[in-house]
Amino acid sequence: MIIAIDGPAASGKGTLARRLAAALGYAHLDTGKLYRAVGWAVARAGGDPGDPQTAEAAARSLDLGLLGDPALSSDEAGMAASKVAALPGVRAALLDFQRAFAAQPPDGARGAVLDGRDIGTVVCPGADLKVFVTASLEVRAQRRLLELRQNGQDVKEEVVKRDMRERDDRDRTRSVAPLVPADDAVVLDTSLLTPDQALAAVMGLLAKRG
Ligand code: C5P
């Protein structure tokens, strides 16, 4: 069983994917972390995340041990991630790992929940359930602001909003694997939903499908 959760930044897809995986006993992969780790590795070394050769080399030699690094949650890492993520060579280098995780989830889990931007369209086009999570820019910016401040980061609302708009635009308009709902995705707007309600909505979809 493979569940694909896609959507823009701070739409609630990460929380939903994590809670869904916990409720079902499935493995969860936050694919944004892969792109963040690549972008961050390049930026930290003083490189340009938009440079194809540097970014592709970082993607091919990605140390999965980096995925737990708290620095990956910063806005800088998110911005660097969206730059490396627009490069076809970087996406290709990360594809096998994601597909292998979905096909053979770790620890013998019976299913996998993957969240990102292109899970339903590119990584797992045959997923059993695809959910495209959205929320208004205002709501998403407030969520992100809260999350960053809870992590002890001192950030300004205008900066968070501006960065989010820039990152969304880049993700939506890139030529490779742009952020679009798959034709067979169910769209879930979480602007007015609590995390519990979002989870219940998807559990309801699963129950209906049997
Ligand atoms: O989901 P998160 O905000 O952590 O993702 C960071 C960036 O990684 C996104 O803005 C996007 O550019 C990229 N990404 C992607 N494809 C995915 C997951 C993330 O392009 N499947």
Residues paired with residue 28 on neighbouring β-strands, in sequence order:
113
Any domain includes 202: no
Rounded CA separation 205/109 (Å) = 21
Q: What is the CA(210)–ligand 1 centre distance, in A?
A: 31
DSSP state of 204: H
Residue 174 reports pLDDT greater than 80 = yes
ipTM: 0.99
The pLDDT-based confidence of 153 (bands split at 50, 70, 90) is: confident
Any domain includes 203: no
CATH number at residue 84: 3.40.50.300
Any domain includes 210: no
* Number of folded domains that form the chain: 1
Q: 116 CB under 6 A from ligand 1?
A: yes
39, amino acid identity: G
Residue 151 reports pLDDT greater than 90 = no
pLDDT in tens, 36-47: 999 999 999 999
Any domain includes 207: no
DSSP state of 9: T
Neighbours of 100 (CB within 10 A): 11
**What is the overall mean pLDDT for the chain?**
96
* Residue among 82, 96, 160, 168 whose CB has most ligand 1 atoms within 8 A, to mutate: 82
Q: 117 CB under 6 A from ligand 1?
A: yes
Provide the H-helix boundaries in 130-194: 137-150, 157-173
The pLDDT-based confidence of 210 (bands split at 50, 70, 90) is: confident
Any domain includes 208: no
Domain enclosing residue 133, as ranges = 2-195
Q: What is the CA(32)–ligand 1 centre distance, in A?
A: 4
DSSP state of 29: E
CA-proximal residue: ligand 1, atom 19 (nearest): 32
pLDDT in tens, 71-97: 998 889 999 999 999 999 999 999 999
Any domain includes 201: no
Any domain includes 75: yes
Number of H helices, E strands in the chain: 8, 5
